[in-house]
Structures are given as structure tokens and as C-alpha cells.
Amino acid sequence: MKRILLLAGLLLAACAPKSDMDKYIDSLMDRMTLEQKLGQLNLHAVNGLVTGAKLSDDDANVKALQAGQLGGVFGSGDLAYLRQMQDIAVSSGAGIPLITGMDVIHGFQTIYPIPLALSTSWDMDLIESVARMAAKEASASGINWVYSPMVDICRDARWGRIAEGGGEDPYLGGEIAKAYVRGYQGTDGVYDDHDVMVCVKHYALYGAAEAGRDYNTVFLNRQEALNGYMRPYQQAAYAGADSYMSSFNEFEGIPASMNNYLMNELLRDTWGFKGFIVSDYTAVSEEINHGIGDLQEVSARSLKAGLDMDMMADGFVGTLEQSLKEGKVSMADIDRACRRILEAKYKLGLFDDPYKYLDPSRAAAEIYTTENKADARKTAQECQVLLKNNGVLPLSKNARIAVVGPLAKDAHSMAGAWATSSHNGECVTLYDGIAEVANVTYAQGSRLFKDETLDRIVRNGGDYSAPQERLVAEAVAKARVADIVIACVGETNNMSGEAASRTDVTLPDAQKELLKALKATGKPVVMVLVTGRPLALVDEDASMDAILNVWAPGTEGGHAVADILFGDVNPSAKLTTSFPRSVGQLPLYYNHKNTGRPHGEFDPFKKFVSAYLDEINGPLYPFGYGLSYTTHEYGDVSLSAAEMPQNGTVTASVTVTNTGDRDGDEIVQLYIHDIYATSTRPVKELKGFKKVHIAAGESVQVDFPITTEELSYYNHDLEWVCEPGDFDIYIGPDCQRGGSARLTVR
Ligand code: BGC
């Protein structure tokens, strides 16, 4: 029956009238030589961007382009240069315009907070508008294709690339993925010259690298992958994402870039994705290192498995002709990939106007403008998580403040990982932002690390010739004559992002020493934490008076941080990753399973249960957690009905009251627990959230509709099912607190 339906479908498709795009591409491909087709499958970096082996210099790229051997270039936002490259592309070979890519990850020239920080806003309109602004700037710089969103779920703070994603939760990650796609590509299904094509990455499961070590092997079964990690990739496809980037890692023993299940079966056949897939940087030739074969073998297998474009390995352009001769790939395989890339160019409107994104008059009016920077500042205000406050915050602008710490004057660390702006060094520093509004003194206070080699690898300047003791002593002297100390500590931009994994996720030793000395002065110490990953802050939580986690807040970082420190803005962000107590707990995530011998998150050690001798199980700060300058109280959770039929809807409600004396935003979270199922289920799963503004003293009722969709999961047979039975429905301010009610699905 299935076969008959499939045949009928194919027949229908064959008889369906051809779209203008199909007709255009048919006639174009009729004129193309094999060499020209293979050229479309090839992608090179230009202008010196390198994250792996450097393949060719810029002269060689020009030659390759003239020979029709390049379908796209990436890594440059230099409009004049890209115009020249486009000139060559349209005047040589089949005259096909280039697609021009770039790692636009959190803003372009105007830098926004890193994606992990953006996720802590839990504000999908905000994320969409950040992508919109980035699209505007990138498209005014000659770029029509962005290597974003990065939607890899990550449960392990050791992995440096946790900074680039939306945290540990697949539901939230799915909402975030959709918001990025809407923002970059626009919502009307047509690319205008301010819309750019997304490239959803890294497909798939790159964030599950074992032990948090970059590029490492992933060990997951399909069911856990689908339930815990895949939703963001899936939602991006449903939202209309037009391209994906295959990842470096393997899945089920097959590298992702040659994984037929991931690319053809799941992404295309199951989720209906119609666009093209590009490999990550040299991912095709890295399949040789994975032990799969030589370049010809891995290139052929990658193409057959659904990969369309090869980034930087020259495997497709170099070996597919031979593979065709040997019957390892067919002409249909090559045509399919070529067509998908031509379709992307057609959708972008490049055949109508190859210079659509190369308008030199836009740059001055649209890039790095005062308006864009103001937007970045407003965004950064929504992305700082207040982790601790014993009442010392907000600060008075009249206080005498000692601003100390190696991150205080580090503009590059405000930009964070994967910021490709030429303005990284101009970001407003923490010191500058604070000094603009208050009376301050300054001392660097410490190195980053005591170890000189490590210190040198991660720092961005500063006085590192001075001995650590002297730096600390200077800071202590400044602290003694101040009313309050702001310690700017944490990780530089070089400590997260690609190839920046750590085995120790505490604050670097030299900075810990500084904090200890500052504490000993008896002055109140506010720790401003710059970081690209969750850190284990047990000591700091015990000793600091306040901790404000500002991540890497972008171009206007210092201003936005001062806005929070001095109370002009009430913080509202909440964590989207668990903050561990120790590296030994990793991977650590709130939506874990119960085990047969469960142990309370905060209970002391007990024999013969799932626990550690030397540490409790729970995080230091849980998923969903974050403080504000006001307080919120949650009422009881109520359900519109205690029972629900399979196709029904039940509304879960709670009343939230702002019990403090400031207006504020609260992120209200809905979780479920499937109590009995045919497969084991997590102890809690996020299924909804709302960010609500509540005036001081006021209450609002927050409602969440629950349908079988929220209660479904992939069972052992990989079917998306809602199994009848009991569910606990929780609503609270984070994954650990709040009330619950019982729902029975019939
Ligand atoms: C990274 C990708 C990036 C690509 C191109 C790779 O090393 O993994 O995230 O898009 O380089 O710069």
C-alpha cells in the first residue's frame, strides 16, 4: 500500500505543472557541463577566514572562480571585494552568481549578546529582532547567507561552543530556532534585499560531544537524540529554513556529513526540508580521519547521503567526476545537489539580480548606526542573569566604587566568541559603562590564570608583566578606600566558542585569589561575571554579596551592565543551562531521568542510591533560575479539567503576584512529568513559558493551553505519541520551584 501511495505521489509530482523556478533551473542545467555542476557544489573561505586547514589563497580562489569551480564563498563582508568576485562569477563559465556566506552569529557589525545570553531573555520577539537587525547589516555588506542559527543542545559546560547555542532544553531551543529563522529570512516567504538565508547548524547533535571536548564522538541512541536534542533542528525546518550545515561529529558510527539517516531520512523525508545542506569546514575530508576511506570514497558517500555542498575540502570538485566514471555516484546524484544549490540562489533572487546584496549605498545608513547600537543596548539589558543579591544591588550612583578585575577593560570579551565585527575592540567596556555614571577608581587586580602559557593564550592585552601579588595588592588598596567593589571577572572571549573546551569550569585561579583578597577587605563585593559557559561558582556564591552574570553582552555591553547595576533597568533574564556545583557532575541537565534509585537533588549522600560521595546531585543554579529587584509569588496551579481526551485541550493556570516594590518582568515556566510511559521519561520537561510584565503589587493570571502535543514524545519505536495516563503539570519560576496539579489523559 505504502509503495502504491509513493508511486502515485511521484506520478502526481511528475504531472504537476512546473514552477517558474523549476523551468528556469531545468534550462540552466541543460546548458551546464559536468564540471560546472560540480563547481556549484564547492565552497571556499575568502579573505583569510580560517577555522581549519587553509586550502587556498585568494588568488587561487579567483582562478577557481574563473574556472567555474566555486558555487559560493564565505568569510568576507567586504562589499567591494564581493562585488569583484560576483563580477567574475557572472562573466565566466555558466555565469551563475555566487552565494556569499558569513558567520553572523550574534549581530554582525553591531554585536549583540552571545546566543546563550540571548536565550536567557526567553523573549522570542527579541531574538527575532536581533536576527532581523543582523540580517539588515549583513545584507548591506554583500552577505546573503548566514551560518546561523546554531541550535545544538548542550548539557555539558565544558564544551566551549555552548556559548553559541540556546542552552540545554529542546523545547525552548525549538522556539528559539523558529525565532531566528523568522528574523533572518523574513516571514513572507520571499527574500527581499534585507532578508538573508539561514544555515541551521550543526546538523546534528554536535552539542553532545563526549566529555565536552570539541569535535568529539557522540554516543546517543535515536530515541534519546529525538527526544533530547533534535527538536530545534526540526522546528527550524518547519519554520522554512532554507539551508543546513552538517556537523563534524559522528552519529551511530557514521560521520554526520555522510549520514543518510540524519540528512535524507530525517531532515528531508520526515521533516520535509527542501533546501540544501553544506558541510562544516573540511568535514568531508575529515571523514578520512574518521576512518571511512580516502577523499574519493568519503566524497561519494557524503553526496549520496544527502550532502550538497562541500566546504573547504575540495572533495566534491576534485573526485566526483572520477566516482561518476566508476559508478560510485550517478549523474542524478550530482544533478540533485546542483539543483538544490541553484534553487537557493533562485530563491535569493540572484538570477534576477546578482548584485541584489551588493548595494554600496546601504552601508553607511544601515550598518553600526546609533540606532543599531541603541537596540543592542536594550537587548543586552534583557540578557543578564542576576544569580545572587544580598540587597547590595542596585547600587547608588553616589557611591565611591572600585572597579577591579582583568575583565573590566576588555572590549573584546564584551564582544564574545564568534563575533566577526571589525568593531570588536570598540565595545563599551564594563569600566567605561560604570565610569560614565558613577565615581570610580580602577585596578586590573589579577591576571586571568596563574599559568603563564594559558594566560597568554586567552588574554586580550592588559598589564601581564606585573606579578600577580602586585596586581592584587593594587586592587585591595583601591577597595579599602571605596564604599563598594565591583569585581569584573570570568572568561575572556577566547575561552569559549570553537575549540575552547575546558576540563575545569571554575573561575580561573588567579581571579579566585583576587576575589578572596577583596572579600578580606570587608567591603561589599559585587561580582560581574563575564562568561561564555556556565561556571561552577560554589565559592563565589558563598562569599560574594551579589553576582550578576552578564555573559558577553556585545557592543554596548558596559552601558547595559551599568543600566542593571544602578537599577535603571530591573533584571529579568533566567538561565537556560544548569550551573553545576562541580565539573564532576557534568553532563548536568534538569530534564534528566529518574533512575531506579533516585536521590533528591539536594539530599546528602546515602548509600545505594544514585548519588556522589562528595557532592550533592543538584546544580548550584538551576535551569530557569534568575533573580530580579522585585519578588514574585506564585499561587496554586489549577487545571480547567482534571481529565483530558486524546484530542482535547486543558488550560493550566496560575496567578503570579509582584510582591516587591518595583515593576518587573517575570518568566513563568510550564513543565510536565509523564509519570508512567512505555519508555522512561525525564523528571521534568519544559513545555511552555511566558514572559509577563507585572507592576509592583499587582497580580496576573498566566494560562497555558495543554494538548496532546505538549504531552507527546518519541517512544521506543520512534513514534511521536501521547500515551494515556497521569501527568504532573508544574508551573513555577524555575525548574525546581512552583506548584503542580495532576492531569489524566484518557
Ligand atoms: C564552524 C562553523 C562555521 C564554519 C565556517 C567551522 O569551523 O564549526 O560553525 O560556520 O567554521 O566558518
Q: Is 498 in the pocket of ligand 1 (CB under 6 A)?
A: yes
Which numbered atom of ligand 1 lies nearest the CA of 201?
Answer: 9
CA distance 281 to 286: 9
In order of their start, the domains of the chain are 373-577 (3.40.50.1700), 632-745 (2.60.40.10)
245 CA → ligand 1 middle, Å: 9
Read off the amino acid at residue 92: S
Which of 531, 487, 574, 477 lies closest to 122 in space, CA to CA? Answer: 574
Please answer whether residues 514 and 405 qualify as being in contact, where contact means their C-beta atoms are separated by less than 8 angstroms: yes
pLDDT tens, 413-470?
A: 999 999 999 999 999 999 999 999 999 999 999 999 999 999 999 999 876 788 999 9
Give me the DSSP letters along 379-414.
Answer: HHHTT-EEEEESS-PSPPTTSEEEEESTTTT-HHHH
Q: What is the mean pLDDT of residues 120-131?
A: 98
Q: Is the pLDDT of residue 47 over 50?
A: yes
- For atom 6 of ligand 1, the residue with the nearest CA is 281
Per-residue cell: 359 = 548595494
3-state SS assignment for residue 527 = strand
Q: What does the mean pLDDT of the chain come to?
A: 95
**Residue 55 pLDDT:** 40
Q: Is 260 in the pocket of ligand 1 (CB under 6 A)?
A: no
- For atom 12 of ligand 1, the residue with the nearest CA is 103
* Residues whose CB is less than 8 angstroms from the CB of residue 413 and which lie 6 or more positions away in sequence, other chains included: 407, 460, 490, 491, 492, 493, 530, 552
Pairing state between β 276-279 and 243-246? parallel
CA distance 403 to 475: 9
Per DSSP, which regions of 636-722 are E strands? 638-639, 643-644, 649-658, 664-674, 685-694, 699-707, 713-714, 720-721
CA distance 548 to 346: 47
Tell me the percentage of the chain whose pLDDT exceeds 90: 93
Between CA 245 and CA 541, with CA 163 as vertex, the angle to 5 degrees is 160
pLDDT tens, 461-474?
A: 876 788 999 999 99
**Residue 13 pLDDT:** 56
pLDDT tens, 674-732?
A: 999 999 999 999 999 999 999 999 999 999 999 999 999 999 999 999 999 999 999 99
Q: Count of CB atoms within 10 A of residue 569's CB?
A: 19
3-state SS assignment for residue 253 = coil
* Residues whose CB is less than 8 angstroms from the CB of residue 708 and which lie 6 or more positions away in sequence, other chains included: 644, 646, 647, 648, 722, 745
pLDDT bracket for residue 31 (50, 70, 90): very high
Which of 626, 121, 124 lies closest to 381 in space, CA to CA? Answer: 121
283 CA → ligand 1 middle, Å: 10
Question: Which of 152, 242, 280, 314 is flagged as catalytic?
Answer: 280
Per-residue cell: 413 = 570579551
Q: Is the pLDDT of residue 62 over 90?
A: no
CA distance 608 to 736: 24
Pairing state between β 525-530 and 439-443? unpaired
**Residue 58 pLDDT:** 67
- For atom 7 of ligand 1, the residue with the nearest CA is 51
pLDDT tens, 173-230?
A: 999 999 999 999 999 999 999 999 999 999 999 999 999 999 999 999 999 999 999 9
Q: Is the pLDDT of residue 4 over 70?
A: no
Count how many Cα atoms sit within 13 Å of the Cα of residue 157 in the half-sphere of its side chain: 28
Q: What is the mean pLDDT of residues 3-12?
A: 53
* Residues whose CB is less than 8 angstroms from the CB of residue 555 and which lie 6 or more positions away in sequence, other chains included: 107, 110, 111, 112, 373, 376, 377, 414, 415, 421, 423, 426, 427, 428
**Residue 56 pLDDT:** 46
Which of 42, 34, 99 lies closest to 279 in space, CA to CA? Answer: 42
Per DSSP, which regions of 297-393 are E strands? 310-311, 385-389
Per-residue CA distances from 239 to 3, 131, 231, 585 (Å): 29, 14, 12, 35
Q: Is 103 in the pocket of ligand 1 (CB under 6 A)?
A: yes
pLDDT tens, 487-538?
A: 999 999 999 999 999 999 999 999 999 999 999 999 999 999 999 999 999 9
| Best residue for ligand 1 mutational test, from 43, 46, 50, 51 (most atoms within 8 Å of Cβ) | 51
CA distance 358 to 174: 32
**Residue 59 pLDDT:** 79
360 CA → ligand 1 middle, Å: 27
CA distance 683 to 675: 8
The reply to whether 280 belongs to the active site is yes
Which numbered atom of ligand 1 lies nearest the CA of 245?
Answer: 10
CA dihedral 159, 161, 164, 165 (to 10 degrees): -50
| Best residue for ligand 1 mutational test, from 44, 148, 245 (most atoms within 8 Å of Cβ) | 245
